[in-house]
A and B are shown apart, each in its own frame.
Chain A
């Protein structure tokens, strides 16, 4: 899949791995990809992120505040008659606060490799699809940013929400910059 990535996009993915490690995450999530993109010196994604007032340090802080795993959906579980609050209470009584919210952060996963969350993988697939739809030869950082936003439910979007940035406007800006660069 990576052979069609532009140098910038490839670089962003490598940096996402470094960021995931630094944040002691067990996998590379969309929020780490977003951080990787923010590192870029040029290119549509980095430019759009900067124009939206987002820089690496601030994004990293917001990403660090994210739970390591996507939150469980209490409403869906309620459909099955499962009270997530009750389950959480039981788990936390036995194993401590936050025990149900994914792997413990206190133990860094030294084995964090190029493993991505399913959301991050979906985002990459959507970036590829966007390039195909547009007839672009390369998957640039702009495609990657659009893919992350199009995926619809991931850590990057939660970071953007926390930063009070409108994902749709950010996506539109990145696409506009891709067109300008082409």
Chain B
């Protein structure tokens, strides 16, 4: 099955699972990048700008996980 079939939802189970895995992968990549940005001295404001979310949102999500 290719991208078209998975995305068009021919089989709901595999389509939903694929979407879920994609979300999980994106979450992990985001966490890695946020942690790296903090190590480089970026402010929450700057990180939030590039992630396209509010400073409060990014701080709430990551403040406890990164320094």
Interface residues of A (CB under 8 A from B): 26, 69, 72-73, 76-77, 79-82, 84, 87, 91, 94-95, 99-100, 102-103, 109, 111
Q: Is the CB of B18 within 8 A of A76?
A: yes
Interface residues of B (CB under 8 A from A): 1-3, 5-7, 14-15, 17-18, 20-22, 24-25, 28-29, 31-32, 36, 64-65
Q: Which residue of B3, B36, B64, B65 contacts A80 across the interface (Cβ within 8 Å)?
A: B3
Most buried by A among B2, B7, B15, B25: B25
Interface residues of B, dominant DSSP: helix
Known: A79-B2, A81-B3, A87-B29. 8 other contacts (CB 8 A): A72-B24, A77-B25, A79-B3, A79-B6, A80-B6, A87-B25, A94-B36, A95-B36
Shortest beta-carbon distance from A21 to chain B in Å: 14
Most buried by A among B2, B20, B28: B28
Q: Is the CB of A73 within 8 A of B21?
A: yes
List of A residues within 8 angstroms of B7 by Cβ: 80
List of A residues within 8 angstroms of B14 by Cβ: 76, 79
List of B residues within 8 angstroms of A111 by Cβ: 64
Q: Is the CB of B25 within 8 A of A109?
A: no
Nearest 10 interchain pairs by C-beta: A79-B6, A76-B21, A76-B18, A81-B3, A79-B18, A76-B17, A73-B21, A111-B64, A77-B21, A80-B18
